[in-house]
Amino acid sequence: MEQSLVSQQELFHREEVALASARGHLAEVEAALRELPPTAEDEPAVSVDELQRTLTQVNRQIDSMGTVNQRAVEEYDAEKLRLDDFEGEVERLTNEKTELTGLVQAIETKKREKITEIVDHVNSAYQEIYHELSAGGHGEIVLENPKDPLAGGLLIRASPTGKVVLRLEQLSGGEKSLASLAFIFAMQRHDPSPLYVFDEVDMSLDGINSEYVGRMLRHNAEKAQFIVISLRKVTLKFAHRIFGVTMRGDGCSRVVGLRLEDIRDVDERDGPKAAGMTGPMEAR
């Protein structure tokens, strides 16, 4: 009898332990359920068997993934740090590119503005100078592409007195020389140089135009030095100093001082030998 009583007490104790364990497990489940989002009112109930099947399927998927890399989190953090560094570098380079692009655009804008300004200034001087050299002609310098000066060239237009010229190629050799000289003088007026060397620029000019050029050289010589090689007395008469270069029988060149009265123009009948010269005159 006593032995039966002891057995009943042990059984009762085991049941109490199992009940306490079940209550603890129930409390854990209830706590876990409270952490889950609330169930919608219209959400259908899921049976335990269905949940069991879903759990089994998920476990199989986990098993198929193989062994879990325990360093995956550390490797992810390291790669994430590298990614952040790369993104920061990309952002820095992008900002620098934007700044450089803006700087290039600003420089290009200033270049176009400066070119337009210089062309306008030179054109104003060119019109005045060509009008004087050609005794009333009209000339101008224009941009081939005014909207984008860097995408085009420069056009020189010249119309001598009494002529309508559409193309520069229609001018004679002397008229082209006047147009070129007018451009040089216009550039000199905009950006003067201390020294100019002209080599027979009056070769294609007649006497009247040569005198216009000589007078222009004499006027501009007040601000710069001109070395002019010429065979034309009409040009040389405006020189401050005249030197002759000649070659005698020994094949050596000699520089001699000359007087204007001793020089005969190449247009005269006697030619340059009348002054005892076989080479060009150099006037400074």
For residue 250, pLDDT over 90 is answered with no
Is the C-alpha dihedral spanning 77, 78, 79, 82 positive or negative?
positive
Give the DSSP letter of residue 278.
Answer: S
pLDDT of residue 264: 58
Answer yes or no: same fold for 92-191 and 194-284. Answer: yes
Tokens of 147: 């909207």
- Distance, in Å, from the CA atom of 139 to the CA atom of 128, rounded to the nearest integer, reads 8
Amino acid at 4: S
- What is the helix, strand, coil percentage profile of the chain, to 5? 55, 15, 30
Name the helix (H) or strand (E) containing 255.
strand 253-257
pLDDT one-digit tens code per residue, 190-219 = 888 889 999 988 888 888 888 888 988 888
Q: Write the CB contacts of 239 (distance below 8 Å, at least 6 apart in sequence).
A: 218, 228, 283, 284
Which amino acid is it at 130? Answer: Y
Q: Which of 228, 237, 226, 243 is nearest to 265 (CA)?
A: 237
Q: Are 242 and 218 in contact (CB under 8 A)?
A: no
Helix (H), strand (E), coil (C) string for 187-246: HHHHCCCCEEEEECCCCCCCHHHHHHHHHHHHHHCCCCEEEEEECCHHHHCCCCCEEEEE
**Does the pLDDT at position 274 exceed 50?**
no
CATH architecture group of domain 194-284 = 3-Layer(aba) Sandwich (3.40)
100-158 per-position pLDDT tens digit: 999 999 998 898 889 889 999 999 999 999 988 888 888 888 888 888 888 888 888 88
| CATH dotted code for 92-191 | 3.40.50.300
Tell me the torsion sign for CA atoms 274, 278, 279, 284: negative
What is the per-residue pLDDT for 166? Answer: 59
What value does the CA radius of gyration of the chain take, rounded to a whole number of Å? 51
When pLDDT is cut at 50, 70 and 90, the band that residue 13 belongs to is: confident
Domain ranges for the chain: 92-191, 194-284
Instruction: Answer yes or no: pTM beyond 0.85.
Output: no
